[in-house]
Every structure is written in structure tokens, then in C-alpha cells.
Amino acid sequence: MHIDAPGTHIDHLLRQTRMHHTQLSAMADVKANILLTLASLMITFSIRYLSEPYLKWPVLVLILFCLATVVAAAYAVMPKLDFKYRPNVENPECNILFFGSFMNLDYDEYVTVMERVINDPALVYETQVREVYELGVFLARKKYRFIRLGYMIFITGLIVSGLVFGAIELFIVLNP
């Protein structure tokens, strides 16, 4: 990576972008927790209606969709760590700033890599840019993707459950 004029403007840009990614990650966690709570409460409050003959199927549909919502939301916030991963610190694509990349390194190995990074200004910027990129990719592909899926499952469950209830009501009205 070539930088024509390193300076505080670049430092500020990278710092702001990293802070923004951190805020987006925190927002994703809150959204996932909302989904988890809402779907869990819907399951809790709906279970008692399973014994009602006319409500059995709509409630069952709602509960199944809520369970799928819980799974998607939990997966979105579940830590994704590989405890056997051993990074190739000589590879410039290794993100040494991400704890998942260096958690299996000895302290001495980590310090050696960080010394190399810190003593090369171009490598400092490249390392920070790589981290910003990987944070963004992680947010998009792991967190927000599954949160969106959770919301879509939840909304679909409400609609399908309502349609099933409506179909049962219509059947009862047409066949007294």
C-alpha cells in the first residue's frame, strides 16, 4: 500500500471508521437481543393456546417461526472463534489487530509481529485499513445478514400465522 502523505488526517479517518464499525456492531447486538427477547416472549405467551382447537395450528406456525427467529438472532451475536487457528504472521493478509487472529500466538510472537508493524509506517496504515475492511465484511456477512434473516423470518411468521388463522376462521364460517 502506497501513501503519498501520511498524517493526522489519515489517522483521524481510520479512527472514525473503526469507531463507526464498533457502533454498528453494538447496534447489531441490540437488534439481535430485541429479536431474541420478542420471539422468546411470543413463544412463552403462545404456548398456552396450543390446547385451543381453533388456535392450535396458527399458534404452532407462530411458535415454529419464532424458534427460527431465535436461532438466526442467536447466530448473529454468537462469537465466531477458531481455537485451533494459527495465523501466518508473515502473510500480509493476516489481521494482527483482530484478537481472533492473534489469540493463539505466544506473547513473544505477537510482540515480534507488532514491532515489525509499528516500525514501518506504511505497514501501520495497511494493517489498520485491513482491520477496517475485515470489520466491515464481518458486520455485513455475519451480523447484519443474520439479523435481517431473523427479522424476515419473524415477519413472515406473523403473516403466515395470521393467514392460517384466517383460513381456519373461513373454514368454520363456511362449514358450520
Average pLDDT over residues 58-83: 92
Check: CB of residue 50 under 8 Å from CB of residue 60. yes
pLDDT at 167: 93
Asked if pLDDT for residue 44 goes beyond 80, the answer is yes
In the structure, what pLDDT confidence band is assigned to residue 1 with cuts at 50, 70 and 90?
low
Residue 105 lies in a domain: yes
Residue 154 lies in a domain: yes
Residue 37 lies in a domain: yes
pLDDT at 92: 63
Residue 2 lies in a domain: no
Residue 33 lies in a domain: yes
Q: What is the pLDDT of residues 74-87, one digit of tens each?
A: 999 988 777 777 77
Residue 118 lies in a domain: yes
Find the domain containing 130 and state its range: 8-174
Residue 3 lies in a domain: no
For the full predicted model, state whether its pTM sits above 0.75: yes
Residue 98 lies in a domain: yes
Q: How many domains, the chain?
A: 1
Q: DSSP for 27-76?
A: HHHHHHHHHHHHHHHHHHHHGGGGGSTTTHHHHHHHHHHHHHHHHHHHHH
